[in-house]
Amino acid sequence: MRVLVTGGAGYIGSHTVKLLGEQGYEVLTYDNLSTGHDWAVLYGDLVVGDLADKELLRKVFSEFKPDAVVHFAAYIVVPESVREPLKYYRNNVVNTINLLEVVEEFGVDKFIFSSSAAVYGIPDEVPVSEEAPLRPINPYGETKATVERILRDIKNSGKGMRFVSLRYFNVAGADPEGKIGFAYPNPTHLIIRAVKTAKGEYDRLEIYGTDYPTPDGTCIRDYIHVVDLSQAHIDALRYLQEGGESDVFNCGYGHGYSVKEVVEAVKRVTGVDFEVVEAPRREGDPPALVADNKKIKRVLRWEPKFDDLDFIIKTAWEWELKFSAQNQRL
């Protein structure tokens, strides 16, 4: 199967490209390198291009003739989406429509969409199932929910394209072989901020809110290793290849850790006792967000291999040390 991966030079995309290559897929990455890196694309060719460029997209589809598309390319920083909503709607929605128009034009019938648990907003029940209402509370989440609705409408049009939308919970960790990992500037996610603080990039780590209705007062999140998440995309491709119907799936382990538990785990794994300070709550942070993952295990036969917080942190830490060393040599 020939698979076109948009955003395949980014964090999750590059790990998925690596797995696709290792498992025998013919893969092509399409990425504008706004946040991705050419060195992260370990299999197949890289076309540097933007999803706004429909003529280039048509050329790529005409020459590569993909059987399926895995669509990662999106802006993902929630606070930025609040400050710059038009930037997010133009890239995450309008450019996705450009891609989908070319997908339809060339008759590609399998589409995997990189969605997010942000579509749920603050859920009524935890763990949250795929049946929960979509109530995003920021523009980033709105863009993901909007694309999901567009995909549903395309499916209902009867034109033959089937899709799988994967709703990610908190993605962390790095390639256990140390070949690729997180390489964005100014990260906002807890584990990567914590390991960078342990490494000395930041003077201290801020905990946003300690008065939530949770056992220790800090937010609880479901952390999934990036390689397990990447495998979910390949399982989704196989599912569509076998004739599966369009559907949505949560991607998480089904249990969570509090912010304080994660911080203690990072200190334990790294051996660094860095400074931690309490800060006010961030607007819109739900007290707990944990996936109900029974559906993805049953339907996609997804079997995670790295459901271990210390292992997730260990791979993130080892990558940080290696990535810093590489940058120093450069």
Neighbouring residues of 142: CB distance < 8 A, sequence distance ≥ 6: 89, 136
Both structure tokens of 252 = 């998480």
Which residues carry out catalysis? 140
Q: How confident is the model at residue 259 (pLDDT cuts 50, 70, 90)?
A: very high
175 close to 227: Cβ distance less than 8 angstroms: yes
Question: Which tokens in the block code for residue 136?
Answer: 């995003």
Crossing angle for the helix pair 139-156 and 95-105, to the nearest 10 degrees = 20
Domain with residues 2-172+223-251, CATH architecture: 3-Layer(aba) Sandwich (3.40)
> Residues 14, 5: contact at Cβ < 8 Å?
no
158-186 pLDDT tens trace: 988 999 999 999 999 999 999 999 998 77
The DSSP 8-state label assigned to residue 118 in this structure reads: G
Q: Which two tokens stand for residue 25?
A: 């897929």
> Does residue 270 register a pLDDT over 80?
yes
Q: How would you classify the pairing of strands 170-172 and 223-225?
A: parallel
CB 38 within 8 A of CB 105: no
At residue 225, the 3 state secondary structure works out as strand
Task: Say which CATH architecture domain 190-221+254-288+306-329 belongs to.
Answer: Alpha-Beta Complex (3.90)
- Express each pLDDT in 20-63 by its tens digit: 999 999 999 999 999 999 999 999 999 999 999 999 999 999 99
Per-residue CA distances from 7 to 70, 86, 218 (Å): 9, 20, 33
pLDDT higher than threshold 80 for residue 306: yes
pTM: 0.96
In this prediction, residue 69 has a pLDDT band, given cuts at 50, 70 and 90, of very high
Confidence of residue 328 (pLDDT cuts 50, 70, 90): very low
As annotated, the residues of the chain forming the CATH 3.90.25.10 domain(s) are 190-221+254-288+306-329
| pLDDT over threshold 70, residue 330 | no
Q: What percent of the chain stands above pLDDT 70?
A: 98
pLDDT at 187: 86
Distances (CA, A) of 274 to 109, 221, 267, 277, 315: 50, 22, 7, 10, 19
What pLDDT was estimated at residue 108?
Answer: 98
Range(s) of the chain covered by CATH 3.40.50.720 = 2-172+223-251
Q: Is the pLDDT of residue 325 over 70?
A: no
